[in-house]
């Protein structure tokens, strides 16, 4: 997965994807206050990982890259929230050509 990590300078002026989703979600909740329908919001982290080149220079081998989404409710059950996290696992033994 290509990385889209922002540099510190970029993050000061740009609105990240995660922040935009949250802002729209909040606006929707306010606009529809009192509405009987459940609202939903999604949050997803940016994956953090080592490039293949970095793995080689560090002698670390990738053994897993995966994502997990959990569903929760907020604001007393009035908002459905999905939260997606990313994990990456590296092993020195695999990076050396073993296990």
Partner 1 sequence: MVDRMGPLRTVMGRFVERINDGRISDGAVVISAADLGVKEVPFGLFEGAPTAPGDLVSVVVPAGTRSIKIESPSIEQTMILAPGEAFGEKPLEPAQGAAVGVDRVVGLNDLLPDQSWAPNAVKIGHLPGSGWLTERARHEKIEISVEKVERAKVAPVSTGSDAWGDAFGDVDADLPGRRLEPGEAFGPAETLVAMTGTALLEGWPDDGPPKSWPKTLDFDDAVPAPAPMGGVTFGVGILSTPSASVGGESLNPLSRLATLDLLQQDEARKLLARAGITDVDEAEWTEGPDPISPADGPSTVTLLGTETEIESFVGVVTGDAGPWGVGVHVVRIDEDDHVIVAGVHRRVVGSAEDTMAALRQGDDVVEARKLLVETVGQLE
For partner 1, which residue of 24, 27, 32, 58 counts as binding (CB under 8 A)? 58
The interface with partner 1 within residues 12-51 (CB under 8 A) comprises 16, 18-19, 22, 25-26, 29, 41, 43-51
Looking at the Cβ atoms of 35 and 89, the one nearer to partner 1 is: 89
Q: Are 18 and 44 in contact (CB under 8 A)?
A: yes
CB 41 within 8 A of CB 83: no
Among 1, 8, 37, 77, the residue binding partner 1 under the rule CB under 8 A is: 8
Of the candidate residues 13, 37, 75, 77, the single one contacting partner 1 (CB under 8 A): 75
First to last CA, the chain: 24
Q: Is 94 in the site for partner 1 (CB under 8 A)?
A: yes
- Name the region of 96 (left: φ>0; alpha: ψ -120 to 50; beta: rest): alpha
């Amino acid at each position: 997965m290509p990385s889209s990590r922002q540099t510190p300078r970029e993050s000061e002026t740009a609105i990240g994807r995660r922040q935009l989703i949250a802002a729209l979600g909040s606006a929707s909740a306010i606009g529809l206050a009192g509405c009987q329908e459940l609202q939903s919001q999604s949050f997803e982290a940016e994956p953090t990982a080592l490039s293949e080149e970095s793995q080689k220079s560090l002698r670390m081998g990738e053994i897993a890259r995966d994502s997990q989404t959990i569903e929760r409710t907020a604001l007393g059950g009035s908002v459905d929230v999905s939260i997606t996290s990313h994990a990456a696992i590296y092993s020195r033994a695999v990076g050396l050509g073993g296990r």
